[in-house]
Amino acid sequence: MKVLIVHAHHEPRSFNSALKDCAVEQLSAAGHEVQVSDLHAMEWNPVASAADFGCRANPDYLVYALEQRHNYEAGTLAPDIAAEIAKVQWCDLLILNFPLYWFSMPAVLKGWIDRVMISGVFYGGKRIYDRGGMRGKRALVTLTLGGREHMFGPEAIHGEIHTLLRPLLQGSLAYCGFEVLPPFIGYHVPYVSAEARGQILADYGQHLQGLDDLQPLVFPSMNDFDDKLMPLQR
């Protein structure tokens, strides 16, 4: 299995980075090939702009998704973007490893999604969800946060964490055709004991060992919608 880990923590000695290191070690030891895109170390540029394109289909008016397709075909995408696309195409499993910022991804990682998951290759028109470009690949979200587990749930103060993660789990990963594994979530990590953190690392090791036995999350299927994406009557 070829694994791409996209990592988005600014502190290499953080617990979040320890989770990433755990995955690299364990997956490599199990014989898988592992690449890591450490966005902070790479000084990843997260801002989608005209600078991403070496030649413009429309030089006067920037339509970002149009230029993504045009420049991919022409081979004139910014090199940092092209390199990341190649890594995703190479991998069988994509792991996004990040601290939860405002119940979502830090901007540096959101910008990896904005710039790398291009129109045409990852999705297009009706080639979304189970018809998306990443069909056949799996995705895992591994995240840490300060909040405690009881703060999330149907009656809890912040609501359900999978619901908060829907733009990522459904709207980005499932949308592009990835089979989305249940996320691994390390709660309350800045505040728990070293022993508790050790246990979370051990649990993550188990999660990784058991990936093939995990039930993927369920998302909409294009078989249930018509050409206009209206629900088919049943």
- Token pair for 89: 């195409």
Decide if residue 49 touches its own copies (CB under 8 A): yes
Q: In the bound complex, what is the minimum distance in angstroms from residue 24's beta carbon to its own copies?
A: 21
Dihedral (Cα; 140, 38, 175, 168), 10-degree rounding: 70
DSSP secondary-structure letter at 131? G
Cβ-contact 163, 151 below 8 angstroms: no
Decide if residue 208 touches its own copies (CB under 8 A): no
Q: Please identify, among the stretches 28-36, 73-81, 149-157, 210-218, the one whose residues bind its own copies according to the rule CB under 8 A.
A: 149-157
Tell me how far apart the alpha carbons of residues 44 and 96 are, in angstroms, rounded to a whole number. Answer: 15
What residues does 77 pair with on adjacent strands?
53
What residues does 141 pair with on adjacent strands?
96
Nearer to its own copies, 19 or 208 (CB): 19
DSSP per-residue codes, 59-102: SSS--HHHHHHHHHHHT-B-HHHHHHHHHHHH-SEEEEEEE-BT
Q: Please identify, among the stretches 30-38, 86-94, 160-168, 195-203, the one whose residues bind its own copies according to the rule CB under 8 A.
A: 160-168
CA 201 to chain CA centroid, nearest Å: 20
- x-or-dash string of contact with its own copies, 58-97, rule CB under 8 A: ---xxxx---------------------------------
Q: Please identify, among the stretches 8-16, 25-33, 68-76, 200-208, the one whose residues bind its own copies according to the rule CB under 8 A.
A: 8-16
Where do contacts with its own copies occur on this chain (CB under 8 A)?
A: 10-11, 13-14, 40, 44, 46-50, 61-64, 101-108, 110-111, 113-114, 117, 129, 148, 150-151, 155-159, 163-164, 166-168, 170-172, 175, 190, 220, 225, 228-231
